[in-house]
Copies of this chain bind each other. A is one copy, B any other.
Amino acid sequence: MYEKEYLMLPGPTPVPPRVLRALSEPLINHRGPSFKTLIEEVTEGVKYVYQTKNDVLILPSSGTGGMEAAIVNFLSAGDKVLALSIGAFGDRFATIAQTYGCIVDKVDFEWGTAVDLNVVKAKLAADVNKEYKAILVTHNETATGVCNDLKGLSEIRGDHPALILVDSVSGLGVMEVKTDEWGLDVIVTAAQKGFMIPPGVAFVSVSPRAWAAYEKSTAPKFYWDLGSAKKFLEKGQTPVTPAIPQLTGLREALKLFREKGMDYIFAKQLYLRDITRAGAKALGLKMLADDAVASAAVTAVWAPEGIEAKAINKKMREEYNVVLAGGQKKLENKIFRIGHLGYVQHLDILATIGALEMTLKELGYPVELGAGVKAAQEVIMSRKGLL
């Protein structure tokens, strides 16, 4: 009661209280020196999480806005792109490219699986004239809870000139991305996922190769013009009015990251994933993603035969105050998704598994109460020091 929810979504995530407090700082002039200090500080902090020396621009938008920026800044109508889709957000990235007139060679992988790099290898090998201007890929497919191997993809690209444009909206800050070391040209992410701040800002990193492509891009852009954003950033400003509370919140979230260290954050996220999967599997539930490609941000679980996923989520929300995500598009009402990224801890997962047991039992699925919790507890107890 009283606003109390276990918000187990793959974004927005719960926000740490000290970040919430930082959202309430007095507003400042976005053309003044305080803002210059702020934008420079948070840009440096975001680069730390990206592990990059590339430019990173912060936009007042959702993650989708960042994806649109990734397309319109580096591509033009008529450009051929290889779009690798493993789910609803991979589809969206391809759709945006199509919307701007790109010739999209889209490869769909079964939902719940990762990109098969051999397929990409064959595609690139067949592209003898090096016509692909870009490869579009989802780092973490929020719709299915599957994580793609960005390092492997970059290796397979080799010296093919195609840019790698990455939607890492729900990946960055959750699972390690070595932007520079892996040679990833453009990576998009958003505030309300691994960064644990409320929605409202997106981040886009741009490699020197991508900037070269920017010079050639003829796609129409004004709001999403990253060249303009870069010029303004050089004087400590943004081209349009920035979402200031998210930036003061981000400053605080980045302090948290630095205090804990990114290695800790990544280890904790894998820990939360493993607790979730162990608990759900012990109830006899089937995971959509194989362990080998399972996301550290979100776990998609098949609803048991004969039970609607929506009924599970409704009961979880109404009776147990646990908010889960549903399935999207062709997975609608077939899966439910447990988010475990951001400001979530082991006991939140334990409570979620406990609520899931009660929910399933009440919906007629045979559950031994406590069995999922026990499996989750065993994972919790097996790794120490992660809170």
Given contacts A2-B16, A320-B346, contact A354 B377 (CB under 8 A): yes
SS class, residues of chain A in contact with chain B: helix
Q: Chain B residues with Cβ under 8 A from A1's Cβ?
A: 260, 268, 345, 387
**Residues 349 to 387 of chain A near chain B (Cβ within 8 Å):** 350-352, 354-355, 357-358, 361-362, 369-371, 373-374, 377-378, 380-381, 384, 387
Task: Choose among A362, A371, A381 the residue with the greatest number of B CB atoms under 10 Å from its CB.
Answer: A381
Complex: A357 Cα to B351 Cα, angstroms = 13
A330 proximal to B (CB < 8 A): no
CB–CB A355/B347 < 8 A: yes
A6 proximal to B (CB < 8 A): yes
A319 proximal to B (CB < 8 A): yes
Among residues of B, the one whose C-beta sits closest to the C-beta of A256 is: B2
Give the copy number. Answer: 2
Q: Chain B residues with Cβ under 8 A from A4's Cβ?
A: 16, 343, 345
Which one of B6, B268, B354 lies within 8 Å of A373 (CB-CB)?
B354
CB–CB A358/B381 < 8 A: yes
Complex: A4 Cα to B343 Cα, angstroms = 8
Range for the number of chain A residues in contact with chain B: 35 or more
Complex: A361 Cα to B381 Cα, angstroms = 10
Q: Chain B residues with Cβ under 8 A from A358's Cβ?
A: 377, 380-381
Q: Mark A226-262, 1 if CB is under 8 A from B, else 0.
A: 0000000000000000000000000000001000100
Among residues of B, the one whose C-beta sits closest to the C-beta of A370 is: B370
CB–CB B319/A387 < 8 A: yes
A281 to nearest B CB, angstroms? 15
Q: Chain B residues with Cβ under 8 A from A268's Cβ?
A: 1
Task: Choose among A1, A3, A16 the residue with the greatest number of B CB atoms under 10 Å from its CB.
Answer: A1
A105 proximal to B (CB < 8 A): no
Q: Chain B residues with Cβ under 8 A from A256's Cβ?
A: 2
Complex: A380 Cα to B6 Cα, angstroms = 17
A152 proximal to B (CB < 8 A): no
Q: Mark A1-30, 1 if CB is under 8 A from B, else 0.
A: 111101000000000111000001000000
Which one of B2, B320, B357 lies within 8 Å of A343 (CB-CB)?
B2
Task: Choose among A256, A268, A357, A384 the residue with the greatest number of B CB atoms under 10 Å from its CB.
Answer: A357
Q: Chain B residues with Cβ under 8 A from A352's Cβ?
A: 347
A322 proximal to B (CB < 8 A): yes
A62 proximal to B (CB < 8 A): no
A49 to nearest B CB, angstroms? 16
A64 proximal to B (CB < 8 A): no
Instruction: Point out residues on A near B: beta carbons under 8 Å.
Output: 1-4, 6, 16-18, 24, 256, 260, 268, 319-322, 343, 345-348, 350-352, 354-355, 357-358, 361-362, 369-371, 373-374, 377-378, 380-381, 384, 387
Q: List 21 A-B contacts (CB under 8 A).
A: A1-B260, A1-B345, A2-B16, A2-B18, A3-B16, A4-B16, A4-B343, A24-B24, A320-B346, A321-B347, A347-B351, A350-B350, A350-B354, A354-B373, A354-B377, A358-B377, A358-B380, A358-B381, A361-B381, A369-B377, A370-B377
